[in-house]
Amino acid sequence: MQWRRRHCCTHTAKLLYLLSLLGVLVFLVHQVWLPRFAGMPWWRGNPVVYGGPHTTKVKGNTSTQHLGWRFVIVPEPTFKADSNISSSEKLQVNPSFVNTLAANTSQSEVHLRDTITQGPFPYVINEPDKCAANKPAVFLVLLIATEARQVEARNAIRQTWGNESVTPAVGFIRLFLLGKKEGELGLLQQRMLQAESQRHHDIIQQDFLDSYKNLTIKTLMGMNWVAMHCPQASYVMKTDSDMFVNTEYLIYKLLRPELKPKNNYFTGNNMRGFAPNRNKNSKWYMPPELYPSEKYPTFCSGTGYVFSKDMAGKIYQASLSIHHLHLEDVYVGICLAKLRIEPTPPPNEFLFNHWRVTYSSCKYSHLITSHGFHPNELLKYWHHLQSNKHNACINTFKERAGRTHSNRINVEKPAK
């Protein structure tokens, strides 16, 4: 009898195990592998895959207490709550415009107008004299997308990779890009933001609702600002407030101030051959009526991309004839396709990372971006990198050798 019970329990356990495996397979097919039918690898199911330590929270300051892949959730196409935008600016697409991107475009549409206006939204906070002629020459402009509540993140950036003393021989400036929040909390945040602006003079803000869906508008505001107020800068980088950016490597190794500045240059983590996600049950569903084409043009992950100064005005100009999409980096890629400019692959595919790279001073001394940092982590790792940057990889090799030697000793110790 006891043998029969044990035999029955064994079969029951096996059956439960097989059922659990089947459940996992069904989940993977539904959530992960389904995008393969769109003609792309499984991990590219979402047009914008932002890896890094987090759960389901959308872009912003993130904690690393819970590890897992982080995906930006594409909002459902209902824009009532997020729109103080004129009807012409709402996120809507003419079904034919994507399919005609490759059509001949007149020179008047591609080239800049004689002058560029500031756009449909008035400035609430502006720094028009940031690149004035009486100030040091600006080589690089950092455009950092942020929200009013992310005070800690901005302060951490000011003390780390956005500190203008990082490269004293080469001038760069930082600008935090913001819209406005509504309600009583929005009024309180606005008063605090005004005081922060008077203290640091590194904030630009226009009168549109600050939301994830309006990130495209926020980015175009930054490009417009560069075209209008800092056309003498050599390069521009757009990034986010939860990023680690190795500013020194970006300037001295990638952009190289000793060389003549490039034109028509746009680079970052190149996302090539991505298709819109048509799975209605997916968090990253892109409705055909919003984007009818079967493939996105090549774009660069919005976590961090770099472009030459001429591109700021050109992209903004192209955007005037293209309906806005809520995926900012995809939208910029569409503008590049309109301009017939293909993003340049970076010299090393590991320079721009839209996921969280495990920290080591050696790895971080040879990359430009890593994603998903809490302000405290940013301060910690930045200061460690600065104190080890001249022998970053030597120290790493010593640590590895030390660990290997220690493990070998422990293995060889006789058991007591």
pLDDT in tens, 161-189: 999 999 989 999 999 999 999 999 999 99
**CA 103 from chain center: how many Å?**
29
The model's pTM: 0.72
Q: Per-residue pLDDT averaged across 66-85, rounded? A: 32
Indicate the pLDDT class of residue 401, thresholds 50, 70 and 90.
low
Q: Is 404 part of any domain?
A: no
pLDDT at 220 over 60: yes
Q: Is 197 part of any domain?
A: yes
Q: Is 408 part of any domain?
A: no
Classify the phi-psi angles of 381: left when phi > 0, otherwise alpha if psi is within -120 to 50, otherwise beta. alpha
Strand partners of residue 285: 277
Please give the C-alpha separations between residue 213 and each of 8, 18, 80, 81, 185, in angstroms, as whole numbers. 56, 42, 11, 10, 20
Count structural domains, the chain.
1
Strand partners of residue 49: none
Spatial distance between the Cα atoms of 45 and 274, rounded to a whole number of angstroms: 8
Q: Is 80 part of any domain?
A: no
Q: Of 279, 292, 272, 281, which is closest to residue 336 (Cα–Cα)?
A: 272
**CA 203 from chain center: how many Å?**
19
Indicate the pLDDT class of residue 72, thresholds 50, 70 and 90.
very low
Highest mean pLDDT among 21-35, 248-262, 266-280, 393-407: 248-262
Contact 135, 182 (CB under 8 A): no
User: Rounded to the nearest 10 degrees, how much is the dihedral formed by the CA atoms of 404, 406, 411, 413?
Assistant: 150
Helix (H) or strand (E) holding 236: strand 235-240
Spatial distance between the Cα atoms of 336 and 231, rounded to a whole number of angstroms: 19
Q: Is 52 part of any domain?
A: no
- The confidence score (pLDDT) of residue 378 equals 97
Percent of the chain with pLDDT over 70: 67
Helix (H) or strand (E) holding 179: strand 172-180
Any idea what DSSP says for residue 143?
Answer: E
Spatial distance between the Cα atoms of 374 and 384, rounded to a whole number of angstroms: 15
Contact 178, 194 (CB under 8 A): no
- The confidence score (pLDDT) of residue 89 equals 37
Contact 245, 134 (CB under 8 A): no
Q: Is 67 part of any domain?
A: no
Spatial distance between the Cα atoms of 24 and 4, rounded to a whole number of angstroms: 30
Domain carrying residue 359: 87-394
- The confidence score (pLDDT) of residue 96 equals 41
Q: Is 28 part of any domain?
A: no
How many helices (H) and strands (E) in the chain?
Answer: 11, 9
For residue 293, how many C-alpha atoms fall within 13 Å in the half-sphere facing its CB? 17
The CATH number that applies at residue 318 is 3.90.550
| Amino acid at the residue 106 | S
pLDDT at 117 over 60: yes
Contact 312, 226 (CB under 8 A): yes
pLDDT in tens, 273-307: 999 878 888 656 677 888 899 999 999 999 999 99
pLDDT at 57 over 50: no
pLDDT in tens, 345-357: 999 999 999 999 9
pLDDT in tens, 9-55: 666 667 776 776 666 554 444 433 333 333 333 333 344 433 333 33
